[in-house]
Amino acid sequence: MALGSLLAKVGLGKKKASPEGEEDAQDAPEKSKAAAKKTAATPEKTKATPEKTKATPEKTKAAAGKTEAAEADDESEAHEAGVASWKDKIRRLPKAALIGAVAGGGLLIVGLGGAGLWLAFGGKSEKGMAIAQAPAKPGAAPSGGLSPPKGGGTLNEVAQSGSESAPPQASAATASTPAQAPSGGGSLNAVAQATQGPGSGVMVAAAMAAAFSRLPDTTPGQPLPSAPDPQLIEQGSQGALPKIGKDGRKAWQVYARPADVRDDRPRVAVIVVGMGLSRAATMAAIGKLPPAVALAFDPYASDLNEWMIRARRAGHEVYVAVPMESGRFPQEDPGPHALQTDAKPEENVKRLEFVLSRFGGYVGAVTVMGSKFKTSEEQLRPVLNILKARGLMFVDGGGTEGSIAPKVAREVGVPRAASDVYIDAHTPRSAIDLKFTEAESFARQRSVTVLSVEANPANLERLAAWLPTLDGKRMGLTSVSSVADKQPSP
């Protein structure tokens, strides 16, 4: 009854509470007291006339029943009177307050329901981790940066979206990924999950665009010519490979950035390695570093042809990184397609061709890790012979001791350069500037030097700040290809 009365009050029933309900609520206590006195008097009368009471037990029971009924009626009347008073108070509340309360309750229900749905269907932790660890697919640029050209994936379609236009034959030779290419979006993690031994379980640290926001802007460079040249491409078993043209042209010369040969100052060549794994780092290097800085792209990255085109549009020479076995495995893991000392030479040749087929338009190959592989002449010589036969330049990326790669490269006759100073991702910020001072010293002593830098926010920030100071120190920044075979013989 109480619920029906309440609904009637707020407009869902037919009855309305009357003002008399308040008077009933006030009189209810008095009635209850009178009934209680009347009930208390009944036992006295019962004691005074015990014999009469015993003779008439039904009357006593009837009287007690009437007393209980009276109390129940009084309680019911008091309850209804209280409910009527409460309903009247609700009726007098402002309508806005009632609407606000209802709306707030509805929003709370919607919020809780949405959270439940997210937990049930949106919390894909594995997918989120893959996105965070794996190189993001180029497409959307961070604020203030460049983005790789959009298109259907072929070099033709990509090039048509910008100022360059790729040769009609380029898409057929370089657009598709080799059949043995890594799955899972090109991430090193995805490749490693299906591989045992070196390369398994490799983690790639992610970097946000905001981490590179402190890099100063640089003057845009003159775009380099369209690449790759279809006359310098042949189809291999795993994809397109560079070759020497019928007219004798070679990739390391055709794709090189022109250098000022009249500059007789000590010169520094810089190459940034690890490109393509982090979109933010790659965008920062392409858009913020001077055009003379070379960029080496990792073969485990995705969309490498598109990144190559973007880098050359900004004036950067491009190199492909060749991972090699490290003597510090598993602390240093070169990945599943690294060249290994315990592999047969033909197996290493197959792995090298896979790396070279990942994209086109590069000047040459730069080593990554390889503290163990670069001490084996037996394994190095076939690799360097292939690079020479395909018209490529060889760059020893440094970071290792005891490398005989520059010596073997000179004997083979492949155009070569070697990093004198290496700044890895673990170099403390306080030591980075000391590395730059070391590079300046090498340049003064040898006329030219090569500096290799791993791409991370601290390294790129300090590099961008140091490079403009070279001119004031009577030094010049030059391309890596311009110092080929100009360093002292090992």
Beta-sheet pairing, 393-396 with 364-369 = parallel
Structural domain span for residue 17: 2-98
Residue 367 belongs to some domain of the structure: yes
Query: Which of 425, 368, 352 has the alpha carbon at shortest distance from 178?
Result: 352
Is the pLDDT at 253 greater than 60, yes or no? yes
CA 225 distance to own-chain centroid? 32
What is the CATH number for 254? 3.20.20.370
Residue 206 belongs to some domain of the structure: yes
Per-residue pLDDT tens for 164-197? 333 333 333 333 334 344 333 444 444 444 444 4
What's the count of helices (H) and strands (E) in the chain, helices before strands?
17, 11
Measured N-to-C along each axis, helices 304-313 and 279-288 cross at an angle, to the nearest 10 degrees, of 20
Residue 214 belongs to some domain of the structure: yes
Q: What is the count of structural domains for the chain?
A: 2
Per-residue pLDDT tens for 357-384? 999 999 999 999 999 999 999 999 999 9
Do 86 and 149 fall into the same domain?
Answer: no
Distances (CA, A) of 222 to 114, 219, 314: 52, 10, 7
Q: For the residues of 372-400, what is the DSSP string, one character each?
A: TGGG-HHHHHHHHHHHHHTT-EEEE----
Can you read off the two tokens belonging to residue 65?
A: 């029943």
Q: Within 13 Å of residue 212, how many CA atoms lie on the same side as its CB?
A: 29
Residue 123 belongs to some domain of the structure: no
Of these ranges, 21-35, 91-105, 266-280, the one predicted with the greatest mean pLDDT is: 266-280
Mean pLDDT of the chain: 73
Residue 112 belongs to some domain of the structure: no
Do 141 and 34 fall into the same domain?
Answer: no
Do 282 and 425 fall into the same domain?
Answer: yes
Task: Show which of 98, 116, 138 is a domain's final residue.
Answer: 98
The C-alpha atoms of residue 131 and residue 185 are separated, in whole angstroms, by: 10
Instruction: State which amino acid sits at residue 205.
Output: A
Instruction: Pick the range with the lowest mean pLDDT from 75-89, 211-225, 293-307.
Output: 75-89
Whether the CB-CB separation of 283 and 132 falls below 8 Å is answered with no
3 state SS of 406? helix
58 phi and psi angles, rounded to 5 deg: -65, -35
Do 271 and 357 fall into the same domain?
Answer: yes
User: To which residue do tokens 């980075």 refer?
Assistant: 432
The pLDDT of residue 188:
45
Do 138 and 49 fall into the same domain?
Answer: no
Is the pLDDT at 157 greater than 60, yes or no? no
Query: Which of residues 127 and 351 earns the better pLDDT score?
Result: 351
Whether the CB-CB separation of 304 and 356 falls below 8 Å is answered with no
Cα angle 147, 151, 155 (rounded to 5 degrees) comes to 95
What integer is the mean pLDDT of 56-77?
A: 51
Beta-sheet pairing, 448-454 with 476-478 = unpaired
The end-to-end CA distance of the chain, in Å, is 103
Task: Show which of 78, 98, 118 is a domain's final residue.
Answer: 98
Is the pLDDT at 146 greater than 50, yes or no? no
Do 290 and 231 fall into the same domain?
Answer: yes
Can you read off the two tokens belonging to residue 341?
A: 């000392």
What integer is the mean pLDDT of 41-53?
A: 43
The C-alpha atoms of residue 313 and residue 298 are separated, in whole angstroms, by: 19
Query: Which of residues 134 and 271 earns the better pLDDT score?
Result: 271
Residue 219 belongs to some domain of the structure: yes
The pLDDT of residue 401:
82
Instruction: Pick the range with the lowest mean pLDDT from 20-34, 134-148, 241-255.
Output: 134-148
Do 209 and 352 fall into the same domain?
Answer: yes
In the chain, helix, strand, coil percent, each to 5? 50, 10, 40
Reply yes or no: is the peptide bond before residue 330 cis, omega within 30 of 0. Answer: yes
Can you read off the two tokens belonging to residue 481?
A: 């290809």
Residue 38 belongs to some domain of the structure: yes
The pLDDT of residue 371:
92
Q: How confident is the model at residue 37 (pLDDT cuts 50, 70, 90)?
A: very low
Can you read off the two tokens belonging to residue 158?
A: 């990509």
Do 32 and 174 fall into the same domain?
Answer: no
The C-alpha atoms of residue 39 and residue 346 are separated, in whole angstroms, by: 113
Do 226 and 321 fall into the same domain?
Answer: yes
Do 144 and 75 fall into the same domain?
Answer: no
Determine the longest span between alpha carbons in the chain, in angstroms.
Answer: 142
Residue 386 belongs to some domain of the structure: yes
The C-alpha atoms of residue 374 and residue 490 are separated, in whole angstroms, by: 14
Do 16 and 147 fall into the same domain?
Answer: no
Q: Which residues contact 6 (CB under 8 A, 6 or more apart)?
A: 83, 87
Is the pLDDT at 466 greater than 80, yes or no? yes
The C-alpha atoms of residue 451 and residue 465 are separated, in whole angstroms, by: 15
Do 322 and 258 fall into the same domain?
Answer: yes
